[in-house]
């Protein structure tokens, strides 16, 4: 009998959440994952967790115990291994001893899915390891083009899409971080004014660990036919995390958050969105649905979700906004 090989079609390749047999990931329920924390101490208080979580995010100490202590322990192993490899490579190359480069963790996922909470919780936990590493957190919001540029290019309604970011500035920043340069500037962003803050920066000075959070940090790009080096943001990551949830859940979380902000932050006279606080509840709900359907859902489907398989670890959330499944890439 002759067997004829054929190319795999997309339909032949199983989804990594639906067909685990073919997946490059190992899957764990939240309860299974929680057992990996071993004797990792809980160094956060309930008040600190409440301060760190974002609006509409119900994370509490129980969730930190279930998910984040095990994740902290895993990351500790990765950081330690990375530092050992760095030292071994220095000896291999017979190079003079240099300061180790920061360990960079990328965190990606849709709007309203809980990236910021995850980033802040992790930053606090990692900084409280016994070795007291220096941990910095930077978001990609500051690397968006200013609103004036987006309006000039007629892409204001694509804010958050890959083309709305200054990719050159992103790559220069991460390159400087990985080179171990001191006092690297990260541009600042105001969610109140919904714009980059001119001449305001966060100074990143040779951290042991940098957490880099943003919706599209795992985004790939077209590769040149001539084989020239074309770096991607994720090339600078030592470990990457994708915060995941069903589309319908993210939709409901986004709209719920919008309606809550309408009663809080949007009422600030300096808020870019203050006009949304002045309309009726029905009108505000229609606006939230329109923003979701015309901007955020498109970005999720076209740009964000396709990057999920590139992550080292995926935290998939359930209806209660808490982690239900953890997927860890196999070594």
Residue 295: exposure state from Cβ atoms within 10 A (0-12, 13-18, ≥19)? middle
**DSSP three-state, residue 60:** coil
Tokens standing for 45?
């208080």
Q: Report which of 108, 115, 169 is spatially closest to residue 143, judged by C-alpha positions.
A: 169
Whole-number pLDDT of residue 226: 83
**pTM of the model as a whole:** 0.92
Q: Treating both helix axes as pointing N-terminal to C-terminal, what angle do 281-291 and 247-262 enclose, rounded to 10 degrees?
A: 140
Q: How far apart are CA 239 and CA 312, in angstroms?
A: 6
φ, ψ for residue 168 (rounded to 5)?
A: -60, -45
Are the CB atoms for 200 and 187 separated by under 8 Å? yes
Which residues contribute to the annotated binding site?
A: 109-116
Residues 6+ apart with CB under 8 A from 175: 231, 236
What is the CATH T-level fold of the domain 29-87+101-128+209-220+228-329, as seen in this structure?
Rossmann fold (3.40.50)
Whole-number pLDDT of residue 15: 54
Tokens standing for 54?
């974002």
Whole-number pLDDT of residue 264: 93
Are the CB atoms for 53 and 110 separated by under 8 Å? no
Segments of the chain assigned E as strands: 25-29, 103-109, 135-139, 184-190, 195-204, 209-213, 239-244, 313-317, 323-329
**DSSP three-state, residue 161:** strand
For residue 46, what is the enclosing H or E element? helix 46-52
Q: How far apart are CA 28 and CA 139, in angstroms?
A: 28
Which residues contribute to the annotated binding site for ATP?
A: 109-116
Whole-number pLDDT of residue 2: 42
Strand partners, 188: 197
* Residue showing tokens 């500037």: 185
Q: Report which of 25, 16, 306 is spatially closest to residue 161, judged by C-alpha positions.
A: 306
> Which CA distances in Å does 206 have to 46, 68, 78, 295?
30, 25, 18, 36
Separation of CA 144 from chain center: 15
Angle at 328 between CA 221 and CA 44, to 5 degrees: 105
Residues 6+ apart with CB under 8 A from 168: none
DSSP-assigned letter for residue 53: S
For residue 62, what is the enclosing H or E element? helix 61-63
Tokens standing for 242?
């994708």
- Which stretches in the chain have pLDDT values below 50? 1-14, 16
């Amino acid at each position: 009998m002759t067997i004829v090989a054929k190319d795999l079609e997309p339909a032949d390749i199983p989804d990594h959440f639906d067909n685990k047999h073919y997946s490059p990931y190992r899957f764990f329920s939240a309860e299974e994952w929680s057992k990996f924390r071993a004797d990792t101490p809980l160094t956060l208080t309930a008040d600190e967790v409440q301060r760190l979580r974002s609006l509409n995010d119900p994370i509490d100490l129980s969730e930190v115990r279930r998910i984040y202590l095990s994740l902290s322990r895993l990351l500790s192993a990765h950081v330690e291994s990375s530092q050992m490899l760095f030292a071994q490579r220095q000896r291999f190359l017979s190079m003079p001893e240099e300061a180790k480069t920061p360990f960079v963790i990328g965190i990606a996922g849709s709007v309203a899915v809980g990236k910021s909470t995850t980033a802040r919780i992790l930053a606090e936990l990692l900084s409280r390891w016994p070795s007291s590493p220096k941990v910095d957190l930077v978001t990609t919001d500051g690397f968006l083009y200013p609103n004036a540029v987006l309006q000039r290019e007629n892409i204001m309604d694509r804010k958050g899409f890959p083309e709305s970011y200054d990719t050159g500035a992103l790559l220069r920043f991460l390159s400087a971080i990985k080179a171990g340069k001191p006092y690297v500037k990260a541009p600042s962003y105001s969610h109140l004014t919904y714009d980059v803050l001119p001449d305001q920066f966060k100074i990143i000075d040779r951290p042991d660990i940098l957490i880099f959070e943003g919706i599209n940090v795992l985004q790939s790009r077209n590769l040149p036919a001539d084989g020239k080096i074309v770096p991607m943001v994720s090339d600078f990551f030592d470990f990457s995390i994708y915060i995941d949830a069903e589309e319908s859940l993210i939709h409901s979380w986004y709209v719920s958050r919008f309606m809550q902000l309408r009663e809080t932050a949007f009422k600030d006279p300096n808020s870019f969105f203050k006009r949304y606080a002045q309309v009726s509840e029905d009108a505000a709900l229609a606006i939230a649905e329109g923003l979701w359907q015309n901007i955020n859902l498109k970005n999720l489907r076209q740009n964000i979700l396709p990057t999920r398989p590139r992550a080292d670890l995926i935290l998939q959330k359930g209806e209660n906004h808490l982690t239900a499944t953890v997927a860890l890439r196999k070594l």
